[in-house]
């Protein structure tokens, strides 16, 4: 599947990351978690003492930070100044700060340019040797890769999304693995971040040409299979 691009959007807790990684693995594609670019920007700002209130300084951090994304779907990770920081990106501090980056329109635009460059690189070569990439986030189907071969908006009932996040340890609410988070805290984290991000991007309603995949009653394997089938239909 040379140069295949699969774009997957959706709110927190729908299973985007798990499904996207498995789709990429099955099809031999790279896997790009665009959310990691926002999180690593937040972490870099925190380490360098950049105030999120100074929006231009956040943009400057996007444009100057030393970050490498490893797009292996079996073991994706992020390097910041040569340090593997993937676990830190899910910390309470970063999770609490990331919306300040994602709602900064200039930073969002700069990160979008970077994400497009990564997708173009993976289509031409990169980890998948040019076979393509699965990119997931909140504006991939509409802003970052509107011409993708396959565009999917994953959805699920809010309470199902909260339950899934709870089963993962409550990461979206800012609680690290092993730290107890109540359902109320997880609900506030999941739905709260969605509410903030929805002020700058629509990831709840499918745009024209985007297929809605409701995962409320689907297993991970069923959701993966549905997207793989769409990919094979796009590139027989």
Residue 187: pLDDT band with limits 50, 70, 90: confident
236/9: higher pLDDT = 9
State the Cα–Cα distance between residues 203 and 179, nearest whole angstrom.
Answer: 29
Q: What is the tens place of the pLDDT at every residue in 128-181? A: 998 999 999 999 999 999 999 999 999 999 889 988 888 876 554 443 443 456
pLDDT, residue 179, reads: 43
Taking residues 15-19, report their average pLDDT.
94
Q: Which residues pair with 79 in a beta bridge?
A: 68, 84
pLDDT, residue 236, reads: 63
State the Cα–Cα distance between residues 93 and 180, nearest whole angstrom.
Answer: 16
Q: How far is CA 1 from CA 131, 149, 198, 205, in A?
A: 5, 11, 33, 28
CATH 3.40.50.300 at 4-234, yes or no: yes
Residues 130-148 as b or e (16 or more Cβ within 10 Å = b): bbbbbbbbbbbbbbbbeeb
Which H helix or E strand runs over 136?
strand 132-137
pLDDT, residue 174, reads: 42
Q: Is 0.75 surpassed by the pTM of this model?
A: yes
State the Cα–Cα distance between residues 14 and 226, nearest whole angstrom.
Answer: 14
227/173: higher pLDDT = 227
């Amino acid at each position: 599947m040379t140069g295949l691009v699969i774009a997957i959007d959706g709110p927190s807790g729908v299973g985007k990351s798990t499904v996207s990684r498995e789709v990429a693995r099955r099809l031999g594609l790279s896997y790009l978690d665009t959310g990691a670019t926002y999180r690593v920007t937040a972490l870099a700002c925190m380490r360098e003492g950049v105030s999120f209130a100074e929006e231009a300084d956040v943009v400057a951090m996007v444009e100057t930070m030393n970050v490498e994304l490893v797009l292996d779907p079996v073991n994706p990770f992020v390097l910041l100044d040569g340090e593997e920081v993937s676990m830190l990106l899910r910390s309470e501090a970063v999770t609490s700060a990331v919306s300040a980056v994602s709602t900064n329109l200039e930073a969002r635009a700069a990160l979008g340019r970077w994400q497009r460059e990564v997708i173009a690189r993976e289509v031409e070569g990169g980890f998948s040797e040019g076979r393509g990439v699965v990119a997931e986030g909140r504006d991939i189907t509409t802003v970052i890769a509107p011409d993708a071969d396959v565009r999917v908006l994953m959805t699920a009932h809010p309470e199902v999304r909260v339950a899934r996040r709870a089963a993962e340890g409550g990461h979206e609410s800012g609680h690290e693995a092993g730290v107890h988070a109540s359902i109320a805290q997880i609900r506030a984290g999941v739905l709260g971040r969605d509410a903030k991000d929805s002020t700058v991007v629509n990831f709840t309603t499918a745009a024209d040409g985007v297929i809605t995949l409701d995962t409320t009653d689907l297993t991970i394997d069923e959701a993966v299979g549905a997207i793989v089938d769409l990919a094979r239909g796009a590139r027989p």
